Amino acid sequence: MDSERPQASLASTPSVHYDGVPNSQSPALPWRERIRRFTPAWFYVVMGIAITAVNFGAIPFGHQHEVLKVLFLVYWFITVLILFLFTGLTVARYVMFPGLWTKMLNHPTESLYLACIPMALIPTENGINDDIIQWLGFLGKRGFKLLFFEWSMWLTTSIIGYVLAFYLLHKMITQQTHTLKHMTGAWILPFVALIVCASAGAKATPEIQKYNMHMALFTLLWSIFSLVIGLSMTFFIMAIVLLRLVTEGFPPPKYVMSSFLPMSAMTQAGFTILVLFNDAAGLFPITYGISPILKNAAISEIFRAFGLITGLSLWILALFWFVQAIFAVVHVARKTPGGLRFGADSWAWVFPFGVVGVHTHALALDMDSHFFHILTLIFNIAIIIGTSVMIVITVPKFLKGTIFYSSVIDEELAGETTAHHDSSSDVVAADKYQA
């Protein structure tokens, strides 16, 4: 596998971090070099800490305890601070090294991590509505002002998610070269971002409904659009992921953590469907028009039943992909000399597991199930401990400068070139065929 690759070309380049190179061999980089290697994958960290903050509000026992509220605020403010820091480092990367912007966009994997940005923003914004306004009761009756601020942030983030989804897919088709062997779960990222945006709209709809019914209907419809596009494309790509696993085996060490992304898509979609159809049940039946379906009193219960069944089904699928991801990581780690490297992508498991905790909590509330309440407690405590451990591991390495990796730079220094697909040649060929 990757351990059999010739390493001679890397020996003379100490700043190159490649497959299977453990962190103990990674040199401490100066800040300029760290910024040059600061990829969008670092927003995995923001995603992980943000969802962990939300997990404090999803602990079913002692829910109103002041300690939980204080810990939520600590993690939420840490998320905001890191979000601003990483945004600044990202801007600095492309201002200081403008040529990297085009190279990053043309790279078949690194470009996909741009979708981590809206996915980092959404759980941070959810913390405003779900926890600061509803759980903590911040501003009391005047909380609706903060709610509409959060709603405007959500809509802006959602538009960014749409732009990235369509643009990155267009780049994949027209300018990047992809093969089944080099395909990873990162293909899912642009479309998981749409699902994540839909979940935030679903959570905001009931609160918006208290003040403006038309805005609530718009939010619900927008979220359904995002969910349908994101989930449909995710299912298409997951079929290719399974084919790639069967025919080519697990991903190489530097991309193996992307194995958690199918789990992320399934649990995020399941949670979103559960909440969306509960929202729809609260908006229907309608009292105007002549539609025999939308005016039927039973439609609200149909929505609730569909949301619960689908949400539970996707929760089960998420656990299946979680087990597969564990198998992948363990197998590849055992085959990799020195073990897997630790970097920003090592955080890829945190966000999906955190969403599982929130998803399980929603199922427990919907079914009033003591079993699911216990599972919720276990999952949420596990992710809180796991995130805390990840922070303890990451901070010293981040400050020391030994965990900054960029596929664009590493492949360039190793003498590898990223192949680009020229769509213009296809157009010429098609014209000749038609002639």
Asked if residue 16 has pLDDT above 50, the reply is no
* pTM, to two decimals: 0.85
* pLDDT tens track for 28-83: 889 999 999 999 999 999 999 999 998 998 898 887 788 888 898 899 999 999 99
pLDDT at 139: 55
Q: What pLDDT is attached to residue 135?
A: 67
Q: Is the pLDDT of residue 418 over 70?
A: no
Q: Which phi-psi region, left, alpha or beta, contains residue 249 (left: φ > 0; alpha: ψ -120 to 50)?
A: left
Instruction: Assess contact for 205 and 217: CB atoms under 8 A.
Output: no
150 against 84, higher pLDDT: 84
| Contact (CB, 8 A) for 253 and 232 | no
Q: Which residues contact 276 (CB under 8 A, 6 or more apart)?
A: 198, 202, 205, 220, 223, 224, 227, 307
Spatial contact of 101 and 175, defined as CB atoms under 8 Å apart: no
Q: For the segment 251-283, what is each residue's pLDDT rounded down to a tens digit?
A: 998 889 999 999 999 999 999 999 999 888 877
Q: What is the mean pLDDT of residues 140-158?
A: 80
Give me the pLDDT at residue 141, please: 64
For 222-257, what is each residue's pLDDT tens digit? Answer: 999 999 999 999 999 999 999 999 999 999 988 899
Average pLDDT over residues 102-115: 92
Distances (CA, A) of 95 to 14, 75, 98: 25, 30, 5
Express each pLDDT in 368-402 by its tens digit.
Answer: 999 999 999 999 999 999 999 999 999 999 999 99
Which of 422, 310, 390 is closest to 48 using CA atoms?
Answer: 390
Do residues 250 and 214 lie in contact, with contact meaning Cβ atoms separated by under 8 Å? no
In tens, the pLDDT along 177-193 reads 888 888 888 999 999 99
Residue 172 pLDDT > 70: yes
Tokens of 324: 């597969």
* Residues in CB range of 305: below 8 A, 6 or more apart: none
Helices (H) and strands (E) in the chain, counts: 15, 0
Q: Which of 15-19, 178-182, 261-265, 322-326 has the lowest mean pLDDT?
A: 15-19
State pLDDT tens for residues 335-377. Answer: 988 888 899 999 999 999 999 999 999 999 999 999 999 999 9
pLDDT, tens digit (0-9, with 9 covering 90-100), for 116-135: 999 999 888 877 776 676 66
Q: For the chain, what percent of residues have pLDDT higher than 90?
A: 56
φ, ψ dihedrals at 305, nearest 5°:
-65, -45
In which region does residue 29 sit, left (phi positive, over 0), alpha (psi from -120 to 50) or beta (all else)?
beta
| Crossing angle between the packed helical segments 261-283 and 213-248, to the nearest 10 degrees | 150
Report the pLDDT value the prediction gives residue 20, as an integer from 0 to 100.
43
pLDDT on residue 435: 44
Q: What's the confidence (pLDDT) of residue 421?
A: 57
**Range 306-326 average pLDDT:** 95
Set out the domains of the chain in order of their start, with CATH numbers. Answer: 26-416 (1.50.10.150)
With a cut of 70, say whether residue 15 has pLDDT above it: no
Instruction: Find the mean pLDDT for residues 106-113.
Output: 91
pLDDT band, very low/low/confident/very high, at 26 (cuts 50, 70, 90): low
pLDDT of 424 above 80 = no
Q: Is the pLDDT of residue 403 over 50?
A: yes
